[in-house]
Amino acid sequence: MEQRVSLITLGVTDLARARRFYEALGWRGQEVEETVFFQAGGLGLVLWGRDKLARDSGHDGAGPASGFGGIVLAHNVRCRDEVDALLAQAEQAGGRVTKPAAESPHGFYSGAFADPDGHPWEVAHNPGFPLAEDGTLTLPDFDTL
C-alpha cells in the first residue's frame, strides 16, 4: 500500500449545514447526488450523510453505540485488481474487511476494511478520479461531466 490518503469523507447529519460551514471558512465545493466534494490540496474532502456513509462502509448503524465515528478514509488505486489485492493485504495484516469489493451504480469499484482499531478505510478504483504518477488525486469538475 502506498503511503497516502486520497479522500477524507466526513459523515454529517445535515449536509446543507455542513456545506455552509465549510463555505464560510472559504472552501468551495461541488454537490453531486447529495454529496459535497471539496478539493483540499492533493486530496479530496467529502461531506456525505452520516447514515449513508456508515452503511456504505459496512457498519450496522451510525449512532455512537455502533462504534462508527463518522469518518471513512479512502485510498484510491489505479485499477480494480488493486482494490482486491489491498483488501486481502489489509485482512492479512490484521484488519477486517467490512465491505467486500463490488461495482457501484456510479461506475467505480470499491470495498472497505477496518484497521485493528476499527478505523474504516474505503479502497476504490474510480476512473473519474484519475491519479497522477505520484498518487495525487484531483477531483473532476462535476459541472462538465
**Which pLDDT score is estimated for 72?**
93
User: Could you read off the pLDDT tens digit of each residue along the chain, which spans 145 residues?
Assistant: 888 899 999 989 999 999 999 998 889 999 999 999 999 988 899 999 989 998 898 886 545 545 788 899 999 999 999 999 999 999 998 899 999 999 998 899 999 999 888 889 999 999 999 899 988 888 889 888 6
98-124: b (≥16 Cβ within 10 Å) or e: bbebeeeeeebbbbbbbeeeeebbbbb
pLDDT at 59: 80
**135: alpha, beta or left, given left = phi > 0 and alpha = psi -120 to 50?**
left
Nearest Cα residue to 122 out of 12, 2, 9, 40: 9
Q: Give the Å distances, CA to CA, from 107 to 18, 24, 104, 128, 134.
A: 27, 32, 6, 9, 24
pTM to 2 decimals?
A: 0.76
Question: What pLDDT was estimated at residue 94?
Answer: 87
Q: Residue 36's pLDDT is what? A: 96
